[in-house]
Structure 1
Amino acid sequence: MGCRKRAAKHQLLRVTAVEGVCVPDPRGALPGRGAHLHLDPNCLDLAVRRRAFPRAFRLQGALDTGRLREYIEERVSVSSP
């Protein structure tokens, strides 16, 4: 969504919006519209800068991405050597 590069579904993180907050949905079980994003902070930054989340979820206004950013940074730091 952020970098607009294609990838297999298992390589992407599903994200949903819950009460104005972008929430990671790694199991794909949360209800509502979902958007897919690479587990890369740069991809998240591009999505935020392009205002892609409100468009993807068909919502008005900005969404809080703090929880999503923490999740991605945690996963990236764990996978880095």
Structure 2
Amino acid sequence: MGPLRTCVGCRATGPRSALLRVVVERGGTGAFEVPELVVDVGRRMPGRGAWLHPEPGCLEKAERKRAFGRALRVAGQPGTSAVHRHLERQQQDVVG
């Protein structure tokens, strides 16, 4: 089965292969750094990662609970627009 990870949205555990890994990508410079989440498709990007089921409901729960900031140990709530786009593309591929 492989290593188990916990979804930051629903808190259910699952195999690593069934969850998305997201990491913080820093944008801007100095005091104006804006943390933004990106999907680590290869699961090899450096830094601390958070795991999420590839479902919009889990992403919404994680945003509502402000789980990404805690899980990734960043101040504030990082932006999730790239994760939303990734999930939308993934669902379009399944439907289309």
What range describes the TM-score normalised by the shorter chain of this pair? over 0.9
C-alpha separation between the residues in 2 aligned to 1:52 and 1:76?
23
Say if 1:14 and 1:24, in contact at 8 Å, map to a contact too: yes
1:77 Cα offset (Å)? 2.1
Higher relative contact order, chain-length normalized (CA < 8 Å, sep 6+): 1
Segments of structure 1 that go 5 or more residues without pairing to the other structure are none
Aligned alpha-carbon RMSD (Å): 1.1
C-alpha separation between the residues in 1 aligned to 2:57 and 2:93?
17
Q: Deviations over 1:34-65 (max 9, x none)?
A: 01101101100000000000001111112110
Q: 1:11 to 1:49 in 2, by over 3 A?
A: same
Segments of structure 2 that go 5 or more residues without pairing to the other structure are 1-7, 27-34
Candidates 64, 71, 76, aligned match of 1:49: 64
C-alpha separation between the residues in 2 aligned to 1:5 and 1:76?
21
TM-score by length of 2: 0.80
1:80 Cα offset (Å)? 3.1
| Identity percentage of aligned residues | 37
**Structure in which a larger fraction of residues adopt strand:** 2
Q: What is the number of equivalent residue pairs in this alignment? A: 81
1:10 Cα offset (Å)? 0.3
Structure with larger Rg? 2
Secondary structure of 1:54's partner? helix
1:21-36 aligned at under 5 Å gives the runs: 21-36=36-51
Secondary structure of 1:36's partner? strand
